[in-house]
Amino acid sequence: MDTNDRVCGLSVFNFRVKAVCFAGDVGSVTIAFWIVALLLDLILTTGNWMYILFLGVYGVDSILTIIHRLILQQNIFKAHRLHFYQILVNEQKVPHLLVATVYALVQILIIVLLLNTHWTIHQDWLRGTLILLPLVLIYIGFKGKLMQPRLNENNEPMSYLWQRRSCVDNRRTGPQNNYTVAAFFDDNATLNEQFREKTVLKYDSVFMRDCPLVIAIGNNLIRKKIVSFVEHNFCTLIDNAAFITRYVRVGEGTVVMPGAIVQAGVDIGRHVILNIGCAVDHEVSIGDFAHIGPRSYIGGGAIIGEGATIGAGAVIMRNVRIEDWTNIPPLSIVT
């Protein structure tokens, strides 16, 4: 059995919804080296560089994706999901097998055209241009449109969250929000992972760029660190079971949980968590990245510093100042 037979046999076990013998990155790279070696041998033997177009479809996708990432000032040596076929599969939910089949058929068509058209060597550049130009135009023309934010059935913008294990239940979000979850970011995401029938992937600054996100992580320091490099805009989620008076300022990225009560004149910073059933009295100031725990109470005129954590059931009396990044234990009373 030669190498061709082995590769064809491997395709039988891989070309399906769930691979029986998954080659993975190691197998893919090995096969790629084998294909490139055969092409180089063919080009050197015949002296015809046009055979490089046997890799035309994937070559155009790869080169233009690298250019795209350089324009976005991304590290091209880091993992990403910006290939045209990845946008089709991950964002547009086109089946993997359909995308692979279309790629294969287009490449076969190019190979047939190359083998059955006889141009002079001086016309090869024109033939190559006529073959590659449609692929380039398709990539440039459709990729931007495919990456636009999707709308839900109510024609509302879709949001997505960073971390999935402690995310807000968006089925309860009220009319102030008008968001539904589109996808989740998680640094520990695995390939093709799903959660609640939504895509889970590592952070990608281009993925659905026009959609806002909320960082659903309880650790205040981690939230601040993530905000420092996230390039998306942020939205604010207020549960429809929360009570907030009219004269309250709520910063971007803040999440207000069910049962929270916020009285008049309260100033809530950015990326704050107001947990279940907490009560914030009048004219309280809450700094960025703070966390007000479940069933806790903040008295009128109190100042909660940046990154401070008020434990569950804690009571902060009136006009008390909690310094930045202070941790108040649960059930404490601060006077």
Give the pLDDT confidence score for residue 109 in this predicted structure: 92
CATH of the domain at 281: 2.160.10.10
pLDDT tens-digit series, residues 225-262: 888 888 888 888 888 889 998 789 999 899 999 999 99
Both tokens assigned to 315: 């009571």
Catalytic residue positions?
Answer: 282
Range of the domain at 186: 158-227
pLDDT tens-digit series, residues 19-39: 676 666 677 778 888 888 888
Q: Does residue 153 lie within any of the structural domains?
A: no
Of 172, 198, 227, the residue that ends a domain is 227
Angular region, 212: left φ>0, alpha ψ -120 to 50, beta rest = beta
- My answer on whether 21 and 132 are in the same domain is yes
Q: Is 204 helix (H, G, I), strand (E, B) or coil?
A: coil
Q: What is the CB neighbour count within 10 angstroms for residue 254?
A: 23
- My answer on whether 306 and 324 are in the same domain is yes
Q: Helix %, strand %, coil % for the chain, to 5?
A: 35, 15, 45
Residues forming beta bridges with residue 214, ordered by sequence position? 161
Residues in the chain with pLDDT < 50?
A: 149-159, 162-176
- My answer on whether 124 and 16 are in the same domain is yes
